[in-house]
Structure 1
């Protein structure tokens, strides 16, 4: 019994140390990638939740709960959660994609990018990378919210500057402001 208590205390101590290291690492990485504080907090909480689940599993094993009992419990929980969230599959895929983008997406807020999409030109500056969307502002001023799960499936071109992105854009800024051309045609 004393051995089990000692192992549980050791696991809790290791959990506290590793979770602090994990949180500081995610914070440093987020600051390096210019992610906003809300996003950094979200990613930290998601990773901490997974780490807590692992801790609970290890404590159950130390206490002598059998693999069969744990397997039945976790399969029941996953079945209920899976059925409950089946209709929300796109939300789950966007959340998962959000974590992948946080750690592996080579573009940052402020970069000029073009998402290669045959149906529409999505070219502009990344304004924000949120939990569900990458928000891109086009040259025309329009704002596009592009789902995280889709941006991982498409090719993305990064431009060094606004001028290079503008050269690749189908959208050309009008020479005369829109309201001015109407005034000229009515005054003639």
Structure 2
């Protein structure tokens, strides 16, 4: 009877925390003018992490030993880790997407310049997705820039013309 009560409490805890997390994410998104797609994405990720923790606690409450639960979780992590190692860039872009949601100082509609020596990227952010930031360039072309690179490069918020001209290639006389 006690186990059933504790498991019921875990389920209620999960439901309450899911709603609380969703409300907090939506409030933060409203303050930062984030798209509904991003809100749903972040909410799903946090709900999945919370569910994972609650399932582990319920397994322990049902009498599975720490070793059994640890073996099960480490097996899941090993399989997921091997699968994601093959797609490392996908994992890094998803992680960068979460970081961008909570800490990126620029929002949709801001005019930015990415100081990337390999590419001239100056324009308006039109969307921030799970894997990349979409920027409409000054010549009306659209560029998708990976989230992980957006965090690795210096990004300037500009009001008019680009703050810095991209480095020009010089050719030496031969």
TM-score (norm 2): 0.89
- Residue aligned with 2:156, SS: strand
- Alignment-derived partner of residue 112 in structure 2: 113
User: Does the 8 Å contact 1:4/1:63 carry over to 2?
Assistant: yes
Matched positions, count: 166
- Alignment-derived partner of residue 172 in structure 2: none
- Residue aligned with 1:145, SS: strand
Distance 1:33 1:3 in 2: 44
User: Does the 8 Å contact 1:94/1:149 carry over to 2?
Assistant: yes
User: Does the 8 Å contact 1:123/1:169 carry over to 2?
Assistant: no
Going by fraction, where is helix more abundant, 1 or 2?
1
Q: Does 1:168 align with 2:163?
A: yes
- Residue aligned with 2:157, SS: strand
User: Does the 8 Å contact 1:8/1:62 carry over to 2?
Assistant: yes
- Alignment-derived partner of residue 180 in structure 1: none
- Alignment-derived partner of residue 65 in structure 2: 66
- Residue aligned with 2:130, SS: coil
TM-score (norm 1): 0.82
Distance 2:145 2:93 in 1: 10
- Measured against aligned partners, the alpha-carbon deviations of 1:57-85 in whole angstroms (never above 9, x if no partner) come to 11112222111111111111122222223
- Alignment-derived partner of residue 52 in structure 1: 51
RMSD over aligned Cα atoms: 1.6
- Alignment-derived partner of residue 87 in structure 2: 88
Unaligned runs of 5+ in 2: 167-174
- Alignment-derived partner of residue 150 in structure 1: 149
Q: 1:127 to 1:169 in 2, by over 3 A?
A: farther
- Residue aligned with 1:168, SS: coil
Displacement, 1:167?
4.9
- Measured against aligned partners, the alpha-carbon deviations of 1:2-27 in whole angstroms (never above 9, x if no partner) come to 22222111111111111101111111
